[in-house]
Structure 1
Amino acid sequence: MSRTKSILVALALVTGLLMAPLAISPVSVAFAGDSDPLFINLTSDDGHRINMALTFGGKQHERGHKLTVFMNDKAVLAASKANSEKFSGQQAAIAGLLEAGATVIVCPMCMKHYGVNKEDLLEGLKLGAPDITGAALFEDNSRTLTW
């Protein structure tokens, strides 16, 4: 066998070995439909990150995607009226999303951890529970993002 043929055969074998895992476990690409639900997991108390999550979610909601925002970890601080001075813009955005028909769920365990009282929550927010949060997270064709 000529040297060129040997090199080509070796390249073919190496390429086949490298591609074999793809043949065994095919890669699937997920494409969002025009109205697939969006579940945003919001964990931050950073004003910019909260704005990014709420703005992105709001724009997708305007495009026809059902929107659920799950405020957990430090994000629960932005859900409290007691923090209205620090999060005034974010709280206005939350109110706008609620008015537009989005759902905002707040993690009760995180509220307890960070000292947020139920009475301090903004109007219209829902307390999370496995059935409420799980229903939104695992809704058929739901897409999830985290901030």
Structure 2
Amino acid sequence: MTNEDLVEKVIIPICAAFAGAIVGAILAFKYQNKMELNREKRQILQVLMMYRNVGANELDFINALNTVDIVYHDNKLVRELLHTFFQQTMPDLFSTKQHIETFYKMLYQMAIDCGYDKLSLHEIRDSYSPELLDIHYPNRMPQKQPSAS
């Protein structure tokens, strides 16, 4: 076997296999990270949607809000709406109830980011909220009648 045969039949296939394995592993790692981030985004959105009519009475709700910055780090609009919401829940602005609409808009943008592009802002505002919830959550977010959008 000559040097050319050795290079052609042994070294090149070994290098190609090694390079293919490295590229495949890198692509798989990036894909897995992207899927994990998307799963985390959907989990946060799901928690916030579940408790959207009760507000900050649930620890899961508070924890989900506190993780939006890191999980939605790549969505500037969601993060801006989050911090606007935080400002509007301060005592001097809370009574204006602006935070409710800001919260719904944030949920809408989060839903779009997660791929739920058929979900409307109207559907986000409209939640099942029986009056019986007042027994469990006396300070829950006031419910507005959904407006047509």
TM-score greater than 0.5 by the shorter chain: no
The higher relative CO (CA closer than 8 Å, separation ≥ 6) is in 1
More helix by share: 2
More strand by share: 1
Larger Rg: 2
